[in-house]
Amino acid sequence: MNQEVNVLALVKGKERYVFLYTAENREEIVESFGRFASDSELSFTWYDAAVMTQKALREKREAELVAARKEMRERAARRRNTVDPTLFKNVKIRFDEADEL
């Protein structure tokens, strides 16, 4: 299965923080933001952790919206390819021998 890899990056002075994660390990990456913010030897702050968490959650919502839109398009396409027989329950068609098609 092909998994989409998400990337979040933060540059603070000479330090560069690059986080790679998939939908399955999003919670782990958010926890790592807290560990980085707790480390007094890093310039990564609790504010940075909050901003990065918001970005990760926004990416999650956007991915969910894309998936929902795709599902809606697929459903609409399936509906276009089928005919609901109840639409024609009151329609009566009569063919006489004299009628030509």
Residue 101 within a domain: no
Residue 88 within a domain: no
Residue 80 near residue 72, CB atoms below 8 Å: no
Query: What pLDDT is attached to residue 34?
Result: 95
Query: What pLDDT is attached to residue 85?
Result: 67
Residue 100 within a domain: no
Residue 97 within a domain: no
Domain span holding position 42: 6-81
Instruction: Please give the distance of CA 76 from its chain centroid, rounded to a whole number.
Output: 19
Query: What pLDDT is attached to residue 97?
Result: 65
3-state secondary structure of 15: strand
Residue 90 within a domain: no
Residue 37 within a domain: yes
Please list, in sequence order, all residues whose beta carbon lies within 8 angstroms of the beta carbon of residue 12, skipping any fewer than 6 positions away. 43, 44, 48
- Low-confidence spans in the chain with pLDDT less than 70: 1-2, 83-88, 91-101
Query: What pLDDT is attached to residue 30?
Result: 93
Query: What pLDDT is attached to residue 100?
Result: 56
Q: Report the domain count for the chain.
A: 1
